């Protein structure tokens, strides 16, 4: 949809508690279509797991939600308002935060500079917000003058989360928070997400591992080849042999070997 008016016109909502709705969303990268009529809702205050294998379109859905991509067909509503085609800077101001997988920090800037740049739209109280995030992630306070590219993977994810939380998002979209991290670090990051969610932030968490997502997400949407194949309680997805065992645990019910690091340059949807 073209860049049009940004008055966030109120539209009919499918339910009083639905905070986000995607309806019949389609999207293509050039001639390659990656989303095919994607429809689901995110209830106010929930943590939704967006699951699927590589190439399923999970990250593209997040980019559409955050305004980095405009759907070629379909609609997106946020808190009952039509935000289809509204660009990322407008949605950020409206309370949508995005932590991009593997790209959440500026590697050549220090931790301090990353936080300051993330809050450049904050008119007053930025120092207080930065202090709040450093209290939330005390390890970062020890690395303020360290370039973000020199941080460990866990510290980079902490910084990516801190940058998003600096703006007090109402909707927090996180792309593969657990990627390449130890279970201990993942547990710490998940605890932060739980606390933020408990304070009222609605969350959409993209994950490739069902076992990881089940620790945090009560409901799951499963994508396969750009289409929704399951939408319901995560516990029910765990019982779906055609999806859970075959895709996430292997056809014989055994866990696959650990993932290797993601390719440095991979275009298209993840």
For the segment 162-174, the average pLDDT, to the nearest whole number, is 97
Sequence-distant (6+) residues with CB within 8 A of 228 are 38, 39, 40, 221, 222
| Confidence at 4, pLDDT banded by 50, 70, 90 | very low
DSSP output for 182-236: -HHHHHHHHHHHHHHHHTT-EEEEEES-HHHHTTT-SEEEEEETTEEEEEEEHHH
Query: In whole angstroms, what is the distance from residue 9 CA to residue 17 CA?
Result: 18
Q: Does residue 9 carry a pLDDT above 70?
A: no
For the segment 130-145, the average pLDDT, to the nearest whole number, is 96
What is the CB neighbour count within 10 angstroms for residue 85?
A: 19
Percentage of the residues of the chain whose pLDDT score is greater than 90: 69
269 SS3 class: coil
Domains and CATH numbers, the chain: 18-249 (3.40.50.300)
DSSP 40: E
| Confidence at 54, pLDDT banded by 50, 70, 90 | confident
Could you tell me the sign of the dihedral formed by the alpha carbons of 262, 58, 20, 202, in that order? negative
pLDDT at position 257 is: 42
For the segment 229-247, the average pLDDT, to the nearest whole number, is 80
111-137 pLDDT, tens digit per residue, is 999 999 999 989 889 999 999 999 999
């Amino acid at each position: 949809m073209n860049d049009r008016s940004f008055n966030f016109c109120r539209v009919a909502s499918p339910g009083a508690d639905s905070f986000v709705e995607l309806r019949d969303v389609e999207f293509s990268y050039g001639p390659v279509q990656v989303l095919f009529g994607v429809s689901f809702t995110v209830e106010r205050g929930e943590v939704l797991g967006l699951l699927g294998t590589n190439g399923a379109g999970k990250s593209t859905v997040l980019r559409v939600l955050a305004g980095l991509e405009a759907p070629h067909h379909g609609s997106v509503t946020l808190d009952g308002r039509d935000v289809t085609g509204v660009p990322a800077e407008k949605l950020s101001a409206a309370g949508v935060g995005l932590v991009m997988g593997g790209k959440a920090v500026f590697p050549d800037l220090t931790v301090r500079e990353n936080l300051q740049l993330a809050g450049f739209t904050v008119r007053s109280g930025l120092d207080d917000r930065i202090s709040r995030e450093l209290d939330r992630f005390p390890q970062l306070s020890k690395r303020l003058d360290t370039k973000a590219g020199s941080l460990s993977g866990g510290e980079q994810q902490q910084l990516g989360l801190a940058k998003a939380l600096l703006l007090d998002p109402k909707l927090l979209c996180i792309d593969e928070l657990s990627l390449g991290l130890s279970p201990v670090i993942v547990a710490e990051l998940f605890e932060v997400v739980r606390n933020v969610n408990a304070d009222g932030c609605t969350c959409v968490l993209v994950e490739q591992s069902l076992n990881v997502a089940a620790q945090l997400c009560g409901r799951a949407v499963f994508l396969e080849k750009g289409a929704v194949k399951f939408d319901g309680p995560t516990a029910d997805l765990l019982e779906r042999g055609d999806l859970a065992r075959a895709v996430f645990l292997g056809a014989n019910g055994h866990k696959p070997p650990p993932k290797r690091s993601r390719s440095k340059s991979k275009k298209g949807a993840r």
